[in-house]
Amino acid sequence: MTSAVSFQKASRHFGSVRAVDAVDLEIAPGEFFAMLGPSGSGKTTCLRLIAGFEQLTSGSISIFGERAEGVPPYRRNVNTVFQDYALFPHLNVLDNVAYGLMVKGVGKAQRHKAAEEALSLVRLPGYGARRPGQLSGGQRQRVALARALVNQPKVLLLDEPLGALDLKLRENMQEELKSLQKALGITFVFVTHDQGEALSMADRVAVFNDGKIMQIGTPEDIYQRPKTRFVADFVGSSNVLPPDFVQRYSGQHRWGSLRPESIRVGRAASGATSGEGVSARLVSTNYLGATTKLALDADGLRLHAIVPAGTTLPAEGEAVVLTFNREHLHLMDEPA
């Protein structure tokens, strides 16, 4: 099957800066694909390469089997939801949404009807006459989404679309985007630096760092089985364990990762009898609502544990014993 988007050794260098460096990537049609990474990792440049705002320095990109090099953005059947929405301030909401149809020469009545339908799709019916300046951030975001979807793109690109929204709205929009994508069956490519967002929405996630893809996989793969220290640390701030430490528990001299929620914290006195805990000292506790995050010091190794709220905790500075199931200790591919 033809990929929706395919990168072959795609590079975009700005002088000596390798924004995107020899990236290989296949995005399947109808997939909800997330590009996750810290700022400056090249994820947004990848998105702009698909949109056509940036041109490759080497390699190739094809969209549904067609080569995209040198094709200007206006000849790509790909639409973008911009980070700050980029709504046209001089047009009302309806004309903003109908813009793509207008430049394609669709008649006024017909494009306004399509725009109205797109607005109902994003649950903003009847907002057509307003100006973008009169809308809230969440509403503008929906208009931007409607403006892209009305063109029925082959691929929809979303550049940190939820970044400017407050937490509650962001969670609602996450669910909505996901159900919208399922209903429409359009390929979504979603750029974010928020690992929670990527894990909760995407079918597959690519983790970017320094212009390269560190790992591609399902959210579960990425979270449970990180291949490198970077992925383990960036996605869900896992505890990265050095090879010497890992050898004691698994017999293999490799880097390991252990999720903070896999660590059980017990008092030193009760844990000492079992004989197989890691003795540590509780440095600080951080109340997060549903959970509490503990910072621990195991002989100079900094570890984090997450325990459900309401657990009775030792006092800060007290000695504790950490236990975990062996199968939760994940060994990474990265050479020791």
Partner 1 sequence: MTIAALNPNPVPAILPGSGGLRGALSDLFWRKPNVLLLLMLLPPVLWLGIVYIGSLFALLAQSFFSIDEFSGLINREFTLKTYGDLFQAANLDIILRTVTMAALVTLASAVIAFPIAYYAARYARGRWKALFYLGIMLPLWSSYLVKIYAWKLILAKEGILTWLLAKLHLLWVLDAWLSLPVVGGNSLSVSFTGTFIVFVYVWLPFMILPVQAALERVPGNLVEASSDLGASPGQTFRNVLFPLALPGIVAGSIFTFSLTLGDYIIPQIIGTSRLFIGQAVYSQQGTAGNIPLAAAFTVVPIVIMGFYLWGAKRMGAFDAL
- Contacts with partner 1, residue ranges (CB under 8 A): 51-53, 72-74, 78-80, 82, 84, 86-90, 99-100, 102-104, 147-148, 151
CB of 73 to partner 1, least distance (A): 4
Dihedral angle, C-alpha 13, 17, 19, 24, nearest 10 °: 60
Q: Strands across the sheet with 256-258, in order?
A: 239-241, 256-258, 330-331
Nearest distance from C-beta of residue 189 to partner 1, angstroms? 13
As measured in angstroms, the least distance from the Cβ of 198 to partner 1 is 23
Nearest to partner 1 of 87, 232 (CB atom): 87
Strands 278-287 and 239-241: unpaired
- Between 14 and 53, CB nearer to partner 1: 53
Beta carbons of 93 and 143 less than 8 angstroms apart = yes
The nearer residue to partner 1, 147 or 330, going by C-beta atoms, is 147
Q: How far is CA 7 from CA 21, 157, 199, 333, in A?
A: 11, 15, 22, 24
Q: What are phi and psi of 10, to 5 degrees?
A: -75, 130
Query: What's the closest the beta carbon of residue 275 comes to partner 1, in angstroms?
Result: 42
For partner 1, the closer CB: 158 or 199:
158
Question: Contact at 8 Å (CB) between 11 and 56?
Answer: yes
CA–CA dist 292, 290 (Å, integer): 7
Return d(Cα 131, Cα 92) in angstroms, integer: 4
Sorted by sequence, the CB contacts under 8 Å of residue 112 that are 6+ apart come out as: 94, 98, 128
Whose Cβ is closer to partner 1: residue 22's or residue 86's? Answer: 86
Instruction: Tell me how far, at minimum, the Cβ of 181 lies from partner 1, in Å.
Output: 19
Is 114 or 235 the residue whose CB approaches partner 1 more closely?
Answer: 114
Classify residue 75 by its DSSP letter: G
Supply φ then ψ for residue 79, to 5 degrees. -125, 155
Nearer to partner 1, 80 or 257 (CB): 80
5 and 189 in contact (C-beta within 8 Å)?
yes
Q: 3-state class of 271 per DSSP?
A: helix
Least distance from partner 1 to the Cβ atom of residue 16, Å: 19
No. of helices (H) and no. of strands (E), the chain: 10, 18
Closest approach, Cβ 256 to partner 1, in A, equals: 38
Smallest gap from Cβ 102 to partner 1, in A, equals 8
Which residue, 22 or 121, is less far from partner 1 as judged by CB?
121
